[in-house]
């Protein structure tokens, strides 16, 4: 989103949040950020961002609900099981095999939320190493910007629904059942270190073998994603692994990582062996400070070396290959993994010419040596001629050899020209014109291809952005669904409580030895207990909601109408009378009727309660 499209009121709100609470949301995608903030605005019934800012100033407790809404903590154990199976079967064995038996294994779980994925990788490492070696070697650094989520994760206990994705044998092995919840085993828990960390603002954790950041960077815009991925690149060891979420890709940093498995979203850091990295390592070993100016200069030197049309490699004083530019890698079929290997282990050391002897001479006399027109048979009928120059690299302060630069100059063209001088000038001009025409066609084709590639990259970026947005909305819906489940559970509990109260009330009314009738203000029957049924022969379902005065029972109801209306209107507090009646068995009885008002919680009259009790039997 360009600056011209930004909503000033929204940006003012984000700046206020950053200034007062230290949360910087400026790098988040505005679409998802707007949805989450609007959700809170609807909850507190404000219409504009400026009104919501005023609300935050008056109600600072709202920050907690706002952050919980923006920072969607949706995660589970073994989320996307197929991806975790790949990590367990392919990636973890590679990490362990690349290390000495006592070398630490360092994992960073960035954006860990409530901790399930952090404990997932801990379980897999414990399975691969054994719990004793895991305890001695493994450190899982679990970080998130949400302090509440971090505090929850530190507790290391989860309910049965949260652990349902964990295989049963791993639940038995790495969890303890305490008061109906599942507590992570102490030995496993000690290897996981939780802490608050802002991916945008805070310095990255270093020397990481596996960095897990799943469905987190998709909430950030493209520029911020690039910054985060650059920090991840610094954090990872050479050939360290990056494990992303299923909706995330690396279009913006594909020159820093290479794909290990695209389907499972696993990538590895490319160890460039660059001059910048070399300086960083030297400075680290000598406790020197590397300034930004030094890094900028080295970036320029590195770029110039990389694009030089002459193939060049640099070896150190021990003949270890430390640099090779793009032309050298292409010419001699080298790859980035060859950087750091002894020259003698590479085919280049003896083909197209033995490099070891000239290197020894340069090492001993510190002088430039050039081998002229070295013949190199590339294919059966293709021969190239190279001039190979060996230049000593000396430390100016102590005049000590620190490396040797080897330049391969392709002079094949010049050799061919020497043989072609016998040909006519006209043929040379014709060849030149044809070559120029071909170059123009190639340039045109190259421009067309470049345009197509740029369009495809743009389309891929748009598709990736859409995919990330859909995944974001999916997690928001999942979060909302969890909230609805919680509300449904509360409603179910309240319904159970209401049913219990109704059952209790019904048992009381059933147990009474007097007839109880409850009428609403319109004298319609609401309650008619068992004793009333026994006295007058009518069931509750026959009289419910009917007018009391319309009942066909042998009880004089007319004398009760005026007292009942007086009680409903509040003119009278109670009324008591004894009426002669005939019960359902046809026996004459004296029925004492007591009328009292039915009050609500706020003491409003909601109806009348009639209590009817047989006093004595009369003679027929």
Strands (E), 88-133: 105-110
Q: 422: cis peptide before it, omega within 30°?
A: no
Q: What is the DSSP string of 220-267?
A: B-HHHHHHHHHHHHHHEEEEEEEEE-TT---GGGTTTEEEEETTTTEE
Q: What's residue 422's pLDDT?
A: 61
Q: What's residue 500's pLDDT?
A: 87
What CATH number should be reported for the domain whose range is 509-617? 3.30.450.20
* pLDDT tens digits, 56-111: 888 888 887 887 777 766 789 999 999 999 999 999 999 999 999 889 999 999 98
Q: What's residue 424's pLDDT?
A: 59
Does the domain made of 81-271 have the CATH classification 3.40.50.150? yes
Q: How far apart are CA 193 and CA 565, in angstroms?
A: 73
Highest CATH level, class, for 308-415: alpha beta
Cross-strand partners of 107 = 140, 210
* pLDDT tens digits, 533-542: 889 989 999 9
Phi, psi (deg, nearest 5) at residue 373: 45, 55
Residue 183 contacts residue 163 (beta carbons within 8 Å): no
Which pairing describes strands 175-178 and 157-158: parallel, antiparallel, or unpaired? Answer: unpaired
* pLDDT tens digits, 450-500: 878 878 877 887 788 788 888 888 888 888 888 888 889 889 988 888 888
Q: Which residues of 111-147 are buried (b: 16+ CB within 10 A; e: fewer)?
A: bbbbbbbbbbbbbbbbebbebebbeebbbbbbbbbbe
Q: How far apart are CA 7 and CA 605, in angstroms?
A: 55
**pTM beyond cutoff 0.75:** no
Q: How far apart are CA 614 and CA 513, in angstroms?
A: 10
Q: How far apart are CA 335 and CA 316, in angstroms?
A: 18
- Residue ranges, the chain, pLDDT below 70: 1-5, 72-73, 250-255, 271-302, 380, 395-399, 422, 424-426, 428, 431, 616-620
In sequence order, the 6+-apart residues with CB closer than 8 A to the CB of 245 are 213, 214, 215, 216, 218, 265, 471
- Residue matched to tokens 């992303």: 244
Strands (E), 296-352: 311-316, 321-324
Question: Could you say which architecture CATH assigns to the domain 3-70?
Answer: Orthogonal Bundle (1.10)
What is the spatial order of strands in the sheet that 257-261 belongs to? Answer: 192-196, 138-144, 105-110, 208-213, 236-244, 266-269, 257-261
């Amino acid at each position: 989103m360009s600056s011209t499209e930004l909503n000033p009121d929204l940006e003012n709100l984000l700046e206020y949040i950053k200034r007062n609470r230290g949360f910087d949301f400026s790098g988040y995608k505005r679409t998802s950020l707007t949805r989450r903030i609007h959700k809170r605005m609807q909850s507190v019934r404000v219409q504009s961002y400026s009104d919501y800012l005023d609300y935050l100033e008056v109600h600072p407790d709202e920050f907690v609900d706002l952050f919980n809404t923006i920072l969607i903590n949706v995660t589970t154990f073994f989320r996307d099981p197929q991806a975790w199976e790949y990590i367990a079967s392919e990636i973890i064995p590679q990490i362990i095999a690349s290390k000495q038996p006592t070398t630490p294994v360092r994992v960073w779980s960035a954006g860990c939320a409530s901790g399930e994925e952090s404990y997932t990788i801990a379980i897999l490492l414990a399975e691969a190493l054994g719990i004793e070696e895991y305890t001695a070697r493994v450190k899982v650094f679990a970080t998130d910007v949400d302090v509440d989520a971090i505090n929850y994760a530190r507790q290391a206990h989860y309910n049965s629904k949260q652990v349902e994705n964990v295989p049963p044998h791993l639940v038995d092995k790495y969890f303890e059942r305490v008061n109906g919840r599942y507590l992570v085993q102490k030995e496993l828990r000690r290897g996981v270190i939780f802490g608050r960390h802002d991916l945008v603002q805070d310095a990255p954790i270093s020397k990481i073998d596996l960095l897990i950041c799943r469905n987190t960077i998709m909430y950030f815009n493209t520029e911020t994603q690039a910054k985060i991925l650059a920090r991840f690149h610094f954090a990872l060891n050479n050939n360290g692994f990056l494990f992303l979420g299923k909706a995330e890709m690396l279009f913006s940093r594909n020159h820093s990582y290479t794909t290990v498995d695209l389907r499972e979203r696993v990538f590895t850091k490319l160890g460039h062996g660059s001059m910048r990295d070399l300086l960083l390592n030297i400075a680290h070993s000598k406790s020197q400070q590397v300034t930004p100016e030094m890094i900028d200069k080295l970036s320029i030197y590195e770029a110039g070396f990389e694009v030089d049309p002459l193939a060049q490699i640099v070896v150190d004083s021990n003949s270890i290959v430390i640099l090779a530019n793009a032309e050298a890698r292409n010419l001699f079929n080298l790859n980035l993994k060859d950087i750091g290997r002894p020259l003698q282990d590479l085919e280049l050391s003896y083909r197209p010419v033995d490099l070891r002897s000239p290197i020894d001479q340069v090492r001993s006399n510190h002088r430039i040596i050039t081998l002229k027109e070295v013949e190199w048979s590339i294919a059966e009928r293709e021969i190239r001629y190279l001039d190979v120059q060996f230049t000593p690299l000396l430390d100016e302060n102590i005049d000590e050899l620190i490396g040797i630069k080897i330049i391969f100059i392709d002079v094949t063209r010049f050799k061919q020209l020497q043989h072609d001088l016998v040909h006519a000038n006209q043929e040379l001009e014709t060849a030149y014109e044809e070559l120029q025409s071909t170059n123009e066609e190639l340039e045109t084709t190259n421009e067309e291809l470049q345009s197509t590639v740029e369009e495809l990259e743009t389309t891929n970026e748009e598709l990736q952005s859409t995919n990330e947005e859909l995944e974001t909305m999916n997690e928001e819906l999942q979060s909302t669904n969890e909230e609805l489940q919680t509300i449904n559970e509360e409603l179910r509990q309240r319904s159970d409580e209401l049913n219990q109260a109704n059952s209790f009330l019904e048992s009381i009314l059933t147990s009474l030895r007097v007839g109880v009738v409850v009428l609403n203000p319109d004298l319609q029957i609401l309650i008619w207990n068992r004793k009333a049924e026994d006295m007058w022969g009518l069931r509750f379902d026959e009289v419910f909601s009917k007018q009391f005065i319309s009942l066909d029972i042998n009880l004089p109801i007319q004398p009760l109408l005026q007292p009942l209306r007086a009680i409903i209107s509040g003119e009278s507090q109670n009324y008591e009378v004894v009426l002669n009646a005939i019960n359902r068995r046809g026996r004459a009885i004296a029925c004492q009727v007591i009328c009292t008002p039915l009050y609500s919680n706020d003491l409003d009259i909601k109806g009348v309660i009639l209590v009817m009790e047989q006093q004595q039997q009369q003679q027929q």
